[in-house]
Structure 1
Amino acid sequence: MKGKLLKVLALGIISSCLAFTMSACSIQSQPTSSSDEKVVNLFTWANYVPNSVVNEFQKQTGIKVNYNNFSTNEEMLAKLQASKGSEYDVVICSDYIIEVMGKQKNILMQPIDKSKVPNYKNVDPQFLNQPYDKGNRYSIPYTLGSQMIVYNSEKVNFPIKSYKDLWNPALKNSLVLVDDPRIVIGMTLKKLGYSMNETDPKKLAQAKQELLKLKPNVKVLDADTPHNSLINGDTTVGFMYGSQASAAVKSNPKFKIVYPEEGMNAEEDNFIIPSKAPHKENAGKFINFMLDGKISNEATTANEYINTNKAAKKYMSKKYLNNKAVFIPDSELKRAERFRDVGNATKTYDLIWSEFKQK
């Protein structure tokens, strides 16, 4: 997932060097800053916007895309803080980090002029007006990610329907989990009937004990490629992102996708424009282009994230629509819970995770 699985780690800012990845037709050593240039500086995860889409935008508009990538939301925020919001034109980042940024004294995002983005009308209303940015003043949804259970039906002799089934002693040394504290602790909290964003110390203490009970069943923790252990037969059940579950199913149709009965998590990735974007007009044109139904479908078909664009549906192939890992029914999405900034409780989550991994 392009390093994205690390995105809900503690919200301490990572001061690290940024590696640059450019699209085939967008080779540039540094972001360009002259306001009258036909350039847009994009900052997101590597390969999250397909080259074919980048190339089509450049062809249609004559605006060159300088594609720069980060590994985590925290790295992105550190870069924006270092440049005071002046280096990039469009950033694609996650919902919870937008919430964090919106609480800061010096907000590094600028309000998006919707009149410059007429394709905003294409965004499915169910993904708008979320708590992290009420009214979508600063952000516009691009895609949505979610985690789910996937298991080998030939090797597991009972049906898996929920998070609680992962605690079954019959699955000893059989699980692969995405290596991420908020995701795995969140799953445990949902099993107990609590919110994934729980901050009550007593409920978190209960979740800690419950998670430790799961440890005998866990064979692999993998942030980036958890599906590989399923594919090679090292594990038989996994909890991972949809695009990873999709890779497992493509390798072996015996793998089954499960939407947990307790409810899923949903994480929206959004377009934002930094506060001092050097090419603000071009930023609006790029976002508007990405919200075109045909382009949106092309992007999510390639990156296998959940599409948030209602105009894209008429372009979706049967293969995409039948892929349970990337086309999740609205009934599931509407009851899914979003991660939120848990403030000081982040330290507790980190301590729980540390003990779980060390046990």
Structure 2
Amino acid sequence: MKRSIVLGATLLLAALTFSGCKKEDPTDAATSNSLVVYNWGEYIDPDVLDEFEEETGISIIYDEFETNEIMYPKVEAGAVVYDVICPSDYMVQKMIENNLLEPLDYDKIPNISNIDPDYLKSAEQFDPGNRYCVPYCWGTVGILYNKTMVDEPVDSWDILWDEKYKDEILMQDSVRDTFAVALKRLGYSLNSTDSKELQEAADSLKEQKDLVQAYVVDQVRDKMIGNEAALGVIYSGEAIYTQRENPNLEYVIPKEGSNVWIDGWVIPKNARHKENALKFLDFLCRPEIALKNFEYITYSTPNKAARALIEDDDIRNSTIAFPTADMLKNCETYTYLGSDMDFEYNELWNEVKAY
């Protein structure tokens, strides 16, 4: 949910009123002993921010964004100068390629040792050498279904094209996530740059459209909890939450494969409080702090020391939160495809939405 790629979404920036966080423009509010944070909504435990302020005396000014596409142009323009930002994998790659990020001084982030080396290796797909990004959360995209409304096994994206479930299907209002479903169903890479494959995926989505109840983002969670739909495309962290609220819901990564994503913290090149930013990143990598954030947002943590602290055996061993290698064998991480391909995907998505 927090990492959705919504086409044409409207920015709803809201400065949160955590202890010490102000509703002013970050550029105006920041002082030499400040830290200006730009993050997804509800993507950190507020108590963690309080603890950091109390321990360090650094005042946090906090802004939210809804999508990577809304965050990027604001950072690129430099209208507001942020010290730490939490983009997704492919957007980290785009920011690196456009020289917007500061290389990290790992001597000042000793707690990076708590991050599982497997996730650092995965992050090298978009951040070669792990020079710019500290992994924060990760997860998958899959199908959430209601066991009382779906009576056959769910193991393929094909079920989202089954006329039996007309008006009972929820799709993501998201360019890359929706095209990923269609592309993987057709046996293609979700990072395809082949125009014929993309057109085939778009045609497939047009074919499906009459079966779809709605293209939504956050509402997938709420509608599925409320038994308002039988099937929905959702992010794994949201699936964990929905199961707590409605035990009839199950989550699956389809056999054709899906997206496995990583969100991470970066420091912009124009950041004004880089030393404070490094302290913040090191703080977030502490096992007890990473555990607090995992319990608050329910998205999987790459912090192996934090995972060891999870007391609930069902959660610590959950294949939703921590899928096996076999479950991920056909999954891919998004990569930045370039501005020309961004345009082509968006044009095709417009066709689907207008169909």
After TM superposition, the score normalised by the length of structure 2 is: 0.90
Q: Within 5 Å, give how 1:307-346 maps onto structure 2.
A: 307-318=301-312, 319-321=314-316, 323-333=318-328, 335-343=330-338, 344-346=340-342
SS of 1:226's equivalent in the other structure is: helix
Residue 6 of structure 1 corresponds to 5
The CA deviation at 1:333 is 4.3
Give 1:307 deviation, angstroms: 0.7
Deviations 1:259-283 (A, max 9, x none): 2111221221111111122111111
Structure 2 counterpart of 1:297: 291
Please name the residue that 1:44 is paired with.
39
Q: Distance in 1 between matches of 2:303 and 2:343?
A: 36
CA distance in 1, matches of 2:138, 2:102: 22
Q: Any idea what SS the aligned residue of 1:146 has?
A: strand
Aligned counterpart in structure 1 of residue 69 of structure 2, from 67, 74, 78: 74
Secondary structure at the residue paired with 1:161? Answer: coil
Identity of aligned residues (%): 32
Q: Any idea what SS the aligned residue of 2:254 has?
A: coil
Given candidates 345, 350, 353, the residue that maps to 1:354 is 350
Measured after TM superposition, the shift of residue 149 of structure 1 is 0.7
Residue 323 of structure 1 deviates from its aligned partner by: 4.8
User: Which residue is equivalent to 2:248?
Assistant: 254
* 2:5–2:175 CA contact under 8 A, matched in 1: no
Aligned to 2:48: 53
**Match of 1:185?**
179
Q: Counterpart of 1:115?
A: 107
**Counterpart in 1 of 2:94?**
100
Residue 5 of structure 1 contacts residue 224 of structure 1 at CA under 8 Å; is this kept in 2? no
**Equivalent position of 2:229 in the other structure:** 235
Deviation at 1:32, TM superposition (A): 6.2
In 2, the alpha carbon distance for the partners of 1:83 and 1:270 equals 20
**Structure-2 change in CA distance of 1:236 and 1:163 (3 Å):** same
SS state at 1:332 partner: coil
- Please tell me the residue identity of whatever aligns with 2:105: D
Moved more, 150-159 or 343-352: 343-352
The 2-side partners of 1:244 and 1:289 are apart by 25
Does the CA-based 8 Å contact 1:54-1:65 persist in structure 2? yes
Q: Secondary structure at the match of 1:151?
A: strand
Equivalent in 128, 134, 140 of residue 140 of structure 1? 134
Contact 1:33 1:279 in 2 (8 A): no
Cα distance, 1:144 vs structure 2:
1.2
Alignment root-mean-square deviation, CA: 2.5
Q: Is the 8 A contact 2:30 2:36 kept in 1?
A: no
C-alpha distance in 1 between matches for 2:50 and 2:155:
42
Task: Tell me if 1:219 matches 2:213.
Answer: yes
SS for the counterpart of 1:219 is strand
Deviations 1:174-209 (A, max 9, x none): 211111121111111111111001111111122222
Q: Secondary structure at the match of 2:87?
A: strand
What amino acid sits opposite 2:119 in the alignment? F
- The one-letter amino acid paired with 2:65 is F
**CA 217–145 in structure 1, closer or farther in 2 if over 3 Å, else same:** same
State the one-letter code of the partner of 1:118. Answer: P
Q: CA deviation at 1:36?
A: 8.3
Q: Is the 8 A contact 2:93 2:336 kept in 1?
A: yes
1:342 Cα shift? 2.0
Name which of structure 1's ranges 328-337 and 63-72 shifts more when overlaid on structure 2.
328-337
**Equivalent-residue separation in structure 1 for 2:213 and 2:320 (angstroms):** 23
Q: Distance in 1 between matches of 2:12 and 2:154?
A: 43
State how far apart, in whole Å, the 2-side matches of 1:312 and 1:136 are.
Answer: 20
Check 1:44–1:218 CA distance in 2 against 1; reply closer, same or farther (3 A cut): same
Q: CA deviation at 1:232?
A: 2.6
Which residue pairs with 2:279 in the alignment? 285
Distance 1:22 1:94 in 2: 25
- In the alignment, residue 56 of structure 2 is paired with which amino acid? T
1:274: which partner in 2?
A: 268
Who is 1:210 aligned against?
204
State whether residues 33 and 87 of structure 1, in contact with CA within 8 Å, keep that contact through their aligned partners in structure 2: no
Task: Indicate how the Cα distance of structure 1 residues 149 and 92 shifts in structure 2: closer, same or farther if over 3 A, else same.
Answer: same
